[in-house]
A and B are shown apart, each in its own frame.
Chain A
Amino acid sequence: MTTANDANLTGRGYWRSLQELAGSPEFRRHLDSEFPDGIDGPAAGFSRRRFLQIMAASAAMAGLTGCRWPQERIIPFAARPDGFTPGKTQQFATALELPGLATGAALLVTSYDGRPIKVDGNPEHPWSLGAASAQMQASVLDVWNVDRSRSPVRRRDNQEVRATWNDFATFAAGQFDALAERDGRGLAFLAGASSSPTRARLRAQLAARFPSALWFRHEPAGDHERLAGAARAFGRSYRDLTHVEHARVIADFDADLLHAHPAALRNARMFARGRRPARDQMNRLYVFESTLSPTGAAADHRIPLPRTQISLALAALAVEVFLERGVALPDGAGISRGELAGWRDRVPALPAIAALAEDLAGRRGQGLVVVGDRQPAWAHHLAAVLNVALGNVGRTVTFVPAAAPDADLTALVDALQAGRIETLVILDGNPVATAPADLDVAAALARATVTIHLADRLDATSERCLWHLPRAHYLEAWGDALAVDGSLLAVQPLIEPLHGGRSELELMALLAGDPAPRGYDLVRTTFHQGAGGRGQAPAASPSFEANWRRFLHDGFTAVSAAAAQTPALTGAGLQLAAAAAPNYENLELVIAPDPRLGDGRFADNAWLQELPDFATKVVWDNVAALSPATAAALRVAHGDLLELEFAGQRQRMPAYVLPGHGAATVTVTLGHGRRDCGRVGRGVGHDAYALRVAAAPHGGIGLKITKTGHRYALSCTQDHHAIDPIGYQERERRVGSLVRQADLDHYLAHPDFVDHLGVHHPPLVSLWTEKGYTGHKWGMAIDLSVCIGCNACQVACQAENNIPVVGKDEVGRSREMSWIRIDRYFQGDPENPEIAAQPIACAHCELAPCEQVCPVAATVHTEEGLNAMVYNRCVGTRYCANNCPYKVRRFNFFDNIKQISETEKMRLNPQVTVRSRGVMEKCTYCVQRIETARIAAKNERRPLRDGEITPACAQTCPTEAIVFGDLNDPQSRVSRARAEKRSYDLLAYLNIKPRTSYLARIRNPHPRLASHGEEAGRPSGHKQTGA
């Protein structure tokens, strides 16, 4: 067999994994089998015999139940609430506090018959703009989780005894009255980070009742360094507020500005708006990072570095900007030119730094330097100095005051061990499971006589506390939060607590002496006092009521622009803390929160577990990621089970060889491997907390890895539907690259370059009678220039379309069900490749190959060109999936929805049919939304407006990369997108006429660094025929 993939090494082709690039034997075997491994087998732990039994039983049951149509009841309201229409969804504004960031995200939650079923961004809030991240959207699933705790539990003689809230109130009254008499000596609170003004108010009340009580904060993935850096630079804690819309040059130092940043949603939107491919209109993004993030993939220049070297790269930038570019040091910089010169030989020399300094110095007030939470405080301080010096403060970055963080978990453990705490109230978090491994929280908890833990479920911490109290989900409780810009957000419940949980606020009020606290009154009072009122909120005041209603309706109260501050530098000394670079003998460990599960709070969320990670495309697992060169040097192969040893702690993890990873660095993510969560996440993946030590929460240098000799099976979606070398060659020859991109200069010189990246095929002759489309003609355009691969669309689709979760084993058999997937391609040098993300869903081909092979006409075309799937006709031949060139059809091998509990079924979208076993399914362009909008327009006797129909993926896309509309309307956004020169169809040579087209990706590299120059993205064999 030819080794066609050698051609890739020249940098012209795209590849999805190193296995594909190298043509490894495993990959060959995977390709050579007619069907992917295991796709035809039964599920694991499911013998053929058992399968037949179940089949027989279900056939018998079908016969019995088929005799009579089930009787349905209609249960009308006895008194219908105002504005409620049975069968219609309602939307409520609420907010979610992002784990660890003490920042609220404004949301709009859809409720059907009183059940929250879908979470979207609040389109009116300026820092959400209608977008929501994958985590925010998946949070709705947690309400319906069956493993949430259902009642308070009191521990007596090591026995768990079910109790009631009344029992607790009685207990608390005695306990806390006694404490109040002692001024609260021996009392301590442990809480997460929160921006809630009501919580701050209640904390003050608690402090008044218990003046000597201590307060600690635990956030596994917090922003301590950011706050500490700002405190050093400006004299108090601030959070930086990025205004990406004004930024032309963005320098991102491990901040993941577009994805994991507190302001990521707006950042991504504004970044995308600044990517119009025209001269002097495109921003330029430099990213310095250790592992591969969506922001890095979107960057014009991505520089992979070990984490500890990133702050040194920032120092190198400062040296370059202040010493070479002659930018004046600002007042209060805390460093002199002489001291800076001393840094010169301690910082790395990177060509990108010189280019970045040139860009930043040339665009004063239009640059932006951001630093991530895992970088040391001095780096945040230095970034502030740079932003001040470059005139960016007040334009691309402003500051919002933040509360200084409280004492951390280490201080709490010390206080417990010293016997200073008798009563501990844990308001949030799971410190036993999420503490650094060298901090024995469990033993420390045993030193307190009374421990009270408010939590979603009986977790590792609850098991060691006297009282466990069920916590209300944020969709069940009243609350408030501050958005990243400081605006006040309403957190309002969409449903009564399902299991009698109470919120943190209600518990705090109870302990503060309020015998029957109501979350509603607590938040209302805060709102009243925030507007200058005193005491309780008035019961009957029309003006207050109007403001309050407005607040709940909008979900937020906007802040004036003046709330953002531009503080002056204090002149605190700036010290470079240089770390030695890691090498292959002395590796660096990076511990980061998981992009999907966060710090573990979402570990029991099946949507997020089954979401392929952006970089690795691994589901239901986490890995130890390392670069190809590092793996080669350590003789580690992809999928080897490694033993990691760091600071005396050990953990086993599978190796994942990730192109573009920082050298001599291994990244592990937190949140997996939980033993104490519900049945979804229990034992899934590997617990990275086991490697964490209090002194180095983000890891550090000194990691040792040893091979265990075992292999570990990862379920990874990136090689599904791969193509063999001959096929790959032919595809390149006939259809050109699937991802097309060029540098801005090349695009401006050759606006029609996409046509030359494709292949000049002979005129396409249709074998079919093509029908015309006179009415609507639905189509979609996806802009690869701005797609950052953040996965939000995939979760949006899952929630909207009732897409089942199938589990790790099934995904390993290529049976994932997601209707939209994000293909991630690498190109070029495996150590620092260019990365492209490409969302793929059903393209609704006009001459659809699937329709041509269906023996029962279960997939047919509508008058508007939708490729409709008729579930009732489908007999499950799967011919259509085999004939689909995009591989977007998904087959229900099992009754996936039937298997979920009745509680979880409450979250299904009633507007979309639930598919049963043996049925094919795929993207419908959200036909339910098309029909709903059409009926509404017809009822009002008006035509449909452009933008009225938005599929779930397009609605939530933070960068507006996905546009949907009517191709017969030349003014529609999708028609205008298609009319752009860089628009191209995927696999156009097949003459299938897809309705989804793509806009080629345009990069804007610095002219001196443009590695491919004018040839970027062009197949080398095609130069002669090109422009």
Chain B
Amino acid sequence: MADDRSRTTGASSDPVRPDPASERVRFPRWSNLLGPATAVVAAGGLLYLVVLVTLVFHPRNSAIGYAPAQPVPFSHALHAGELGLDCRYCHTTVEHAAQASVPTAETCMNCHATIFTESAKLLLVREAHATGKAIPWIRVHDVPDYAYFDHSAHVRAGVGCVSCHGRIDRMTVVSQQMPLTMSWCLDCHRRPEPHLRPPDQVTRMDWTPDEDPSVLGRRLRDVHGINPSTDCTTCHR
């Protein structure tokens, strides 16, 4: 095929063309710069890739520290910290269901029917309670939809809230403290001992074991038969 083409279109052997030399392709002078330019672009591209990959995977750019402003300025520091409410007062289904569940306006109104009844901050809550229209909270801890995390399995096994959510009792605005990446999940699934505590201490934010955490963890593992799986199907269905 290539031979055919050169025979029929090749300038030098074509008898019709009178002056083959004048038809020769001449590159302009600036084209000498193409070589170095290509090298620069290649090097720049490589650098760009490196920077890009570094930025994407840098911990600063993972979701840690993500703290969106919520429609109602609810302070965990006040409620869970100062007032000492148990997590389960609001997150009622955390022990029996995959979702911990965000409280209903009704739960808020249990107290706020009598406390701060005029507060402007609570306007949305009162409105929700009166009209039944939900408060659109923004999800902070968001794992991908193909990862099926189950709160009850973890809470019943004795993994403290603080292990994944950090010191919620000190947060005025909730922020993400852990990377929530798959490798982070697997770290604990492979070696859960440091994160295990007696199931009745799960919601205690300031709990510290009286003994070596890994010794306690090992004992709790044996007692409760905790043997987290690292099979793909454990979390992905």
Beta-carbon nearest neighbor of B142 in chain A: A72
| Contact (Cβ within 8 A) A913 B128 | no
Residues facing A in B163-178 (CB within 8 A) are none
- Chain B residues with CB under 8 Å of A872's CB are 146, 236
- Chain A residues with CB under 8 Å of B146's CB are 871-872, 913
Main secondary structure of the interface of B (DSSP, over half): loop
| Contact (Cβ within 8 A) A928 B102 | no
- Chain A residues with CB under 8 Å of B99's CB are 85-87
Give the residue among A69, A76, A866, A941 with the most B Cβ atoms within 10 A.
Answer: A76
Stretch at the interface among B30-38, B43-51, B80-88, B149-157: B149-157
| Contact (Cβ within 8 A) B136 A69 | no
A712 CA to B136 CA in the complex, in Å? 55
A911 CA to B229 CA in the complex, in Å? 19
| Contact (Cβ within 8 A) B138 A71 | yes
Residues facing A in B14-54 (CB within 8 A) are none
| Contact (Cβ within 8 A) B138 A73 | yes
* Bitwise interface map of A from 64 to 76 toward B, beta carbon under 8 Å scored 1, else 0: 0000010111111
Residues facing B in A844-870 (CB within 8 A) are 860, 862-864, 866, 868, 870
Stretch at the interface among A95-103, A676-684, A931-939: A931-939
A590 CA to B133 CA in the complex, in Å? 57
A817 CA to B63 CA in the complex, in Å? 37
Main secondary structure of the interface of A (DSSP, over half): loop
| Contact (Cβ within 8 A) B234 A75 | no
Beta-carbon nearest neighbor of A76 in chain B: B102
| Contact (Cβ within 8 A) A76 B97 | no
Give chain B's interface residue range (CB within 8 Å of chain A). 35 or more
Beta-carbon nearest neighbor of B157 in chain A: A938
Residues facing B in A891-949 (CB within 8 A) are 911-913, 924, 927-928, 930-931, 935, 938-939, 941
| Contact (Cβ within 8 A) B237 A77 | no
Stretch at the interface among B103-111, B188-196, B200-208: B103-111
| Contact (Cβ within 8 A) B134 A939 | no
Please tell me if B3 contacts chain A, counting CB pairs below 8 Å: no
- Chain B residues with CB under 8 Å of A73's CB are 136-139
- Which one of B98, B106, B156, B225 lies within 8 Å of A78 (CB-CB)? B106
Residues facing A in B188-237 (CB within 8 A) are 224-225, 229, 231-234, 236-237
- Which one of B104, B129, B232 lies within 8 Å of A860 (CB-CB)? B232
* Bitwise interface map of A from 86 to 112 toward B, beta carbon under 8 Å scored 1, else 0: 111000000000000000000000000
* Bitwise interface map of A from 360 to 383 toward B, beta carbon under 8 Å scored 1, else 0: 000000000000000000000000
- Which one of A69, A911, A913 lies within 8 Å of B63 (CB-CB)? A69
Beta-carbon nearest neighbor of A87 in chain B: B99
With A76-B134, A79-B104 known as contacts, the answer to whether A939 contacts B152 (CB < 8 A) is yes
| Contact (Cβ within 8 A) A868 B132 | no
Q: In the assembled complex, how far is the CB of residue B201 from the closest CB belonging to chain A, in whole angstroms? A: 17
Q: In the assembled complex, how far is the CB of residue B122 from the closest CB belonging to chain A, in whole angstroms? A: 14
With A913-B236, A924-B233 known as contacts, the answer to whether A74 contacts B137 (CB < 8 A) is yes
Please tell me if A80 contacts chain B, counting CB pairs below 8 Å: yes
- Chain B residues with CB under 8 Å of A69's CB are 63, 142
- Which one of A74, A77, A930 lies within 8 Å of B138 (CB-CB)? A74
| Contact (Cβ within 8 A) A931 B148 | yes
| Contact (Cβ within 8 A) B104 A913 | no
Residues facing A in B69-102 (CB within 8 A) are 93, 95-99, 101-102
A600 CA to B99 CA in the complex, in Å? 42
| Contact (Cβ within 8 A) B139 A80 | no
Q: In the assembled complex, how far is the CB of residue A928 from the closest CB belonging to chain B, in whole angstroms? A: 4
- Chain B residues with CB under 8 Å of A79's CB are 104-106, 129, 132
| Contact (Cβ within 8 A) A80 B145 | no
Q: In the assembled complex, how far is the CB of residue B9 from the closest CB belonging to chain A, in whole angstroms? A: 28
Q: In the assembled complex, how far is the CB of residue B112 from the closest CB belonging to chain A, in whole angstroms? A: 13
Q: In the assembled complex, how far is the CB of residue B43 from the closest CB belonging to chain A, in whole angstroms? A: 23
| Contact (Cβ within 8 A) A924 B237 | yes
A383 CA to B135 CA in the complex, in Å? 66
| Contact (Cβ within 8 A) B237 A913 | yes
> Can you give 19 contacting A-B residue pairs, CB < 8 Å?
A69-B63, A71-B138, A76-B101, A76-B105, A76-B137, A85-B93, A85-B96, A86-B99, A87-B99, A862-B233, A866-B233, A868-B231, A871-B146, A912-B237, A913-B237, A930-B233, A935-B152, A938-B156, A939-B96
Taking A76-B104, A77-B134, A868-B233 as given, write out 14 further A-B residue pairs in contact, using a Cβ cutoff of 8 Å, ordered by the A residue number: A72-B138, A72-B139, A74-B136, A76-B103, A78-B105, A78-B128, A78-B132, A87-B99, A866-B231, A913-B145, A928-B148, A930-B233, A935-B150, A938-B156
Q: Which residues of A contact B (CB under 8 A)?
A: 69, 71-80, 85-88, 860, 862-864, 866, 868, 870-872, 911-913, 924, 927-928, 930-931, 935, 938-939, 941
